[in-house]
Amino acid sequence: MCFLGFGSYFCYDNPGALQDVIIRDLSLSTTEFTYLYSSYSWPNFVLCFIGGFLIDRVFGIRLGTVIYAMIVVLGQLVFSFGVFCNSFWLMIVGRVIFGIGGESLAVAQNYYAVLWFKGKELNMVFGFQLSFARIGSAVNFFIMGPIYDFVSHYYKGYQCLGIVLFVASSTCLVSFICSLSLAYLDKKVKSNSDDENKGEDEVAKLSDLKDFSAAFWLITVICVSYYVAIFPFIALGKVFFMRKFDLVAGDANFINSLIYVVSSVASPLLGLMIDKTGRNVFWVSLAIVITIGSHSLLAFTFLNPFIGMMILGFSYSLLASALWPMIALVVQEYQLGSAYGIAQALQNLGLAFTTWFAGMVVDSGGYLMLEVFFLVWLCVALIAALFMWIYDLRTSGVLNMTVAQRNIYERSKLASEKLQRESQASGSINDVSPYDVTQPQSDFNIRNRYLARIGATTVSTIVCLLISGTFA
C-alpha cells in the first residue's frame, strides 16, 4: 500500500527536478513552465471528487485503484512523448491525464488505509504512506539530473529530455503492480470475513455533501491553504536556491529535495507519536506555526537554506500525519471515498490557481514576493485551524481528544447507536431524542434509559420519590 503512490509522486515532480533544463531545451518562460503543474491540478477540481465517488458507488476500492493506476501510466507516457516531439499541447494533455489518475489514486490509497487500519494506529500508517511517497519525490530530485547528463551523450535537446522522461515512466509501473497486489490481498481478506457485505444498507450519495460537518470543511480549508505554500514552492524552488544562495544546479536540487528526505524519515515517527498522544488539532496548529517560521527564514534571511528546508520538512510531515486521519473521525466510513475525493479536489483547485499565479509573481516581482504570497496563505491556514479548535471545543471535542478519551467516546457512541437500533426494533423510539443519539452517553445514562423503556424503576425515579416524600 505504501508503494502504491511511489511512481506517481516520483513523476509528479519530474518537471521540478529538470526545471532549468526544461525551460532551456523547450524555450519556455517561468509562467509557461508552471502550466506543467497547474494542468495537473485544474481538472482534478471536479474529477478527483468524481474519482472518490466512483470508488464508493461504482468501481469499489479494488477495481478503482487498478483503473487509476493504469491512467497514471498512460498520462506519463503521453507527457514523455509530447516532450520528445517538442509538442507543448501534447505535454499538457499528458499532465492532465496523469493528474486525473494520480489524484484519484491518492484517494484510493487513503481509503485503503482507513479501511484496514482505522483504530489501529492510523496516523502512523498515513505517516508511512507519506514517507514512501516522499521517498519517490526525493529520489526523483536526486537521479533525474544524472540520468539527463548520461542520456545527453547520445541525444540532444528536447529529444534527450523525452528519453529521460520515458525512463521515469517505468516507476509508474510500480504503482500499477501494487494496485493489482492490493486488490488480490483485499479480496483474500474480505472473503474470509463478513466485511464483504458491508455498506449494502448505506451507500454514498451526492446529497451526502450537505451532511458533512463544519469540521470537515475546515479541514479542507487547512488542506488547501497549507499545501499551496508547499508544492508550488518546491516546483519553483530549484531556480530560487540557485539565484538567492548562488548554488549550482546539483546543490539546488539537493536542498529542494530536503523536504522530501526529512518527510520520508519523520512521517512514520510523527504519526506514531500522534497515535500515542492524540490531540490532532494541536499538532496541526503547531505545524502551521513552524512552517510560517521556516518560510520566513528562507524569505528574509541568508541563513543556510539547509536549516530552513529541514524545518519545513519536519513541519510538513507533522501536519500531514495529523491532518488527513481527522477526516475519518468526522465522516462515515461509507462516505470516505467521496470525502477524501472532495478534499483532494479542493486541494487541486488551490494548487492549480496558486502554481499558475506563482509563476506570474516570479516573472513580475521576483522570489521575495513569491515568499510573501506563500506566507499569506499560511496565515489563512492558521486562522482556519483556530476556528476548527473552537468548533471542536463547542461540539464533541473528538478531534483534539487524547487517545484514551477518544476510545471512551467511541465506545459510548457505539453503545448509543446500539440502543437506538434496539429501540427501533421494538417499535418505540419516543424515549430516544436526536440529541441522545448524537451525543456520547455514560453507562449510567444508558442503563437508566433502558430500564425506563422496559418499565422498571430507575435510580432517578427512586430519588425523585424520596424527595417528594411518597416513597414507601
pLDDT, tens only, 153-190:
888 888 999 999 999 998 898 888 888 988 888 887 76
Phi, psi of 193 (to 5 degrees): -140, 175
Cβ–Cβ < 8 Å for 161, 26? yes
Cell of 427: 417499535
- 391 lies in the same domain as 455: no
317-342: average pLDDT: 83
If one compares 440 and 356, the residue with the highest pLDDT of the two is 356
Cβ–Cβ < 8 Å for 131, 74? no
Residue 456 confidence (pLDDT): 47
- 430 lies in the same domain as 297: no
Mean of pLDDT over the chain: 81
Is the pLDDT reported for residue 118 higher than 80?
no
- 293 lies in the same domain as 437: no
- 100 lies in the same domain as 221: yes
* Residue where a domain terminates, one of 348, 366, 400: 400
If one compares 21 and 334, the residue with the highest pLDDT of the two is 21
Nearest-angstrom CA–CA distance, 308 and 311: 5
Which amino acid, 225?
Answer: S
Is the pLDDT reported for residue 383 higher than 50?
yes
- 310 lies in the same domain as 459: no
* Residue where a domain terminates, one of 383, 400, 417: 400
- 359 lies in the same domain as 263: yes
Q: In which domain, by residue range, is 247 found?
A: 2-189+208-400
If one compares 47 and 69, the residue with the highest pLDDT of the two is 69
State the CATH number of the domain containing residue 361: 1.20.1250.20
Q: Residue 405 falls within a domain, yes or no?
A: no
404-415: average pLDDT: 81
Q: What is the pTM of this model?
A: 0.68
Phi, psi of 289 (to 5 degrees): -60, -45
Closest Cα to residue 356, out of 341, 339, 345, 370? 370
Residue 191 confidence (pLDDT): 63
Closest Cα to residue 233, out of 136, 134, 371? 371
121-139: average pLDDT: 77
- 54 lies in the same domain as 119: yes
- 173 lies in the same domain as 220: yes
Nearest-angstrom CA–CA distance, 152 and 154: 5
* Contact partners, residue 209, CB within 8 Å, separation at least 6: 338, 342
Alpha helices in 245-335 (DSSP H): 249-277, 280-300, 305-323, 326-330
Nearest-angstrom CA–CA distance, 180 and 334: 23
Cβ–Cβ < 8 Å for 238, 253? yes
- For the chain, how many structural domains are there in total? 2
Residue 49 confidence (pLDDT): 66
262-285: average pLDDT: 89
| pLDDT, tens only, 435-452 | 454 444 444 454 444 444
If one compares 336 and 23, the residue with the highest pLDDT of the two is 23
